[in-house]
Amino acid sequence: MRLIEIVKNVPPHLISAVNLMGLMQGLPAEEMGYTPVMTRGTKESVRASQAQQRFGFEIVRALQRYAQGQMEFYGRCKRAAVLYDWICGRSLEEIEAEFSTNPFAGRIEYGDLRRFADLTRFHLQSASNILAVLLVDKNPQADLDVLLTRLEVGIPAEGIELLNLPLPLTRGEFLNLLRNGIRNSDGLWTAPPDLLFRSLGKERVAQLERLRPKPKKQ
């Protein structure tokens, strides 16, 4: 019911899979888990503007609904912005640096990010039928499926096809391939060896070479 109320108060043209990920952070704290925030002072207030830069004013305003105080609101914004950067392929080091208030309070680490992503995936999967009814004209299921994968792996949408490679890669390796313009298996198998070495290293390239598809017979 909380999710329905949140979504209904957002202009329909703003509803997208990524914005739903942000809106999902407005669920009760007991469902979304602990978010490290520095409760003393006002340093966490920057989280609202960080979220607004990524999602826009209307989504951030929706996150204020039902918040039990400013710190809960800032925590929602913090989770939303962290997840946005995660699925866009920003490095873990950069995410930790921007969203850790200081080394002792409000610090964001990989375990926190992983918890945010896993809980959001769980609730998005659980709510998919409800969202399909609410957004019947938009048919968001395909976009939601892509988003669920991006939350799990932490890569941009244009890198999803790389998950079909015959060898599981790390997030960093996927992102290196994307940075070098390789977005799918065809791009990988036709890439110059030196580009692959720069992206993956010699050992990983050797592993992939053993799995290279055989040329089709003419």
Domain that residue 187 falls in: 157-209
Final residue before a domain boundary, out of 129, 153, 177: 153
What pLDDT, on the 0 to 100 scale, is given for residue 114? 96
H or E segment and range at residue 57: helix 57-63
**What is the biggest distance separating any 2 CA atoms in the chain, rounded to whole angstroms?**
70
Q: Read off the tokens for 79.
A: 């989770």
Q: How confident is the model at residue 217 (pLDDT cuts 50, 70, 90)?
A: low
Q: Is residue 204 in some structural domain?
A: yes
Residue 55 near residue 22, CB atoms below 8 Å: yes
Q: Is the pLDDT of residue 149 over 80?
A: yes
Considering only 11-15, 57-61, 208-212, which range has the smallest mean pLDDT?
Answer: 11-15
Q: How many helices (H) and strands (E) does the chain have?
A: 13, 0
Assess if residue 149 is contained within a domain: yes
- Residue 132 pLDDT more than 70? no
Residues 205 and 116 in one domain: no
Give the pLDDT mean for 93-108.
93
Shared-domain flag, residues 46 and 149: yes
- The token pair at 166 is 């015959």
* Residues whose CB is less than 8 angstroms from the CB of residue 40 and which lie 6 or more positions away in sequence, other chains included: 105
Alpha helices by DSSP H, listed for 89-140, are: 92-99, 110-134
Taken as a whole, the chain contains a residue count of 218
Please check whether residue 3 is in contact with residue 127, taking contact to mean a CB–CB distance below 8 angstroms.
yes
Task: Tell me, yes or no, whether 101 and 162 share the same domain.
Answer: no
Q: The domain spanning residue 13 has which CATH number? A: 1.10.3380.20
Q: What is the pLDDT of residue 193?
A: 93
Domain count within the chain: 2
Same domain, 166 and 135: no
User: Same domain for 62 and 148?
Assistant: yes
Show the 3-state SS of 37-79.
CCCCCCHHHHHHHHHHHHHCHHHHHHHCCCCCCHHHHHHHHHH
The answer to the question of residue 81 being in a domain is yes
Mean pLDDT of the chain: 90
Can you give the pLDDT at residue 19? 92
